[in-house]
Amino acid sequence: MSVVHLAKYVLGPHKRRLAVTYTLFSLEMFGSLLRPYFLGEAVNDLQEGSFSGLILLLSVHAAWMIIGTVRQMYDTRTYTEIYKDIVLRFMRTHGSSKELSVLSARSTLAREFTEFLEFDIVYIVEAGYNILGSLFMLYFYEPGVLMICAAVLVPVLFISRRYGSKMGRITRHRNDELEKQVDVISSRDEKQIEEHYSKLRSWQIRLSDMQAWNFGFMEVTVMIVLGASLVLSNQQTGGEGLWAGDIVGIYSYILKFLSGLDTIPYAVEKTATLRDIVRRLDVEIEQVG
């Protein structure tokens, strides 16, 4: 089954709930993106003895807070229902034809799939807002900084694609071993159990090593972008006619961009994991809708 087919399987009975939660999330992210701008305007207004910018900033923050609170409460109700639905449908379809070990492992994978919808997609989409929104706002502040940020996206995307491919293979092998766990434990064979957990440990170490190397690469990239952006913005302005609020805005959006950039490998890794989960859940296509 493809990701698209499983998405239809999940979205069918719950599309209205998901539409509400993603709409609330989009509004929340829009407010988050605007906050640095209004913060800069508030600083500029305070320098002139005006509180209008501060009042607007606090109003935007309050709206963002209310929307975020409502969304998080609504999310829990939506995704727990989705998880229950996936597991029950899977058990009805395959409960009598799969081994207990496989059913147990895939019930866990169904939980991972639901958590991907509830947490990871939110995290990934937030990174997209941070990257694209920050680039858009930086254009109005300092186009040179925009060019630096945009230039690093190419190598990051290339490296992340290779990283995702390797992570997908390692995750697949780890999950293959995980599906044997209940049967291995039930055998009560000490040698077999030790071998099973040694293999799991080996795959987990390989996953961790890949994550660590990728973390190092991304942090070097962050250092380059941050340093070059600060130098360029200082050279372009020369410190003349630059409002304190503008400085706050520029550096806030640089940090938002870098935060989004850091999320790209995570997004690629989670997508690779999702593909493997979809392959294992193998819900019947006829059950869609």
What is the domain-level CATH number for residue 118? 1.20.1560.10
Q: Which of 220, 188, 9, 243 has its CA nearest to residue 114?
A: 9
Average pLDDT, the chain: 76
Q: What is the DSSP string of 233-273?
A: HHHHHTTSS--HHHHHHHHHHHHHHHHHHHHHHHHHHHHHH
Q: Which carries the bigger pLDDT value, residue 119 or residue 209?
A: 209
Contacts of 9 (CB under 8 A, 6+ apart): 1, 89, 283, 287, 288, 289
pLDDT for 184 equals 79
pTM above 0.75, yes or no: no
Residue 3 has pLDDT above 60, yes or no: no
Read off the DSSP letter of residue 148: H
Q: Please tell me the predicted confidence (pLDDT) of residue 288.
A: 36
Domain that holds residue 131: 3-287
Whether 108 shows a pLDDT value over 60: the answer reads: yes
**pLDDT bucket at 174, cuts 50 / 70 / 90:** confident
Question: What is the structure's pLDDT at 92?
Answer: 64
Per residue in 207-262, pLDDT (tens digit) is 888 878 877 887 788 788 777 777 776 665 554 545 667 777 888 888 888 888 87
State the Cα–Cα distance between residues 8 and 93, nearest whole angstrom: 17
- pLDDT over 50 (residue 16): yes
Question: What's the total number of domains in the chain?
Answer: 1
What CA–CA distance (Å, rounded) separates 215 from 220? 9
pLDDT of the residue at 234: 65
Query: 265 is written with which tokens?
Result: 């490998």
